[in-house]
Amino acid sequence: MSEPEEEFLTLTDADGFSVSFRILGRLAWNGQTFAFLEDPEDEGSVMVFTVTEEEDGEENYAMLEDEALAEEVFYLFEADADDYEVGPAE
């Protein structure tokens, strides 16, 4: 079995700077979708984003500012990864 190919996502901040992230996976929980992204230059530093979809199908990512919620969903994501093989988001 071959390893899944890594997927990357480039986001642009409010100042117009673009940053690429490695997509670790997603989690749908409590009516929201969360994305877990890692800066490829700072491995091990995972950031949690909320994902919303516009009417035209375009996705918007916003960093999750609520640290307690970010820890909770990251814990669920890690627990899910222990039960299933988690690869890049589809």
Interior angle at CA 84, CA 86 and CA 47, nearest 5 = 40
Identify the domain containing residue 27 by its residue range: 8-83
Number of domains in the chain: 1
Q: Which pLDDT tens digits describe the chain residue by residue (90 residues)?
A: 455 677 899 998 889 999 899 999 999 999 999 999 998 888 888 999 999 999 998 999 999 999 999 999 999 998 876 554 444 444
3 state SS of 22: strand
Q: Please report whether residue 1 resides in a domain.
A: no
Q: Please report whether residue 43 resides in a domain.
A: yes
pTM of the model: 0.78
Q: Please report whether residue 67 resides in a domain.
A: yes
Q: Please report whether residue 20 resides in a domain.
A: yes
N-to-C CA span, the chain: 18
Query: What single-letter amino acid sits at 6?
Result: E
Structure tokens at 75: 């814990």
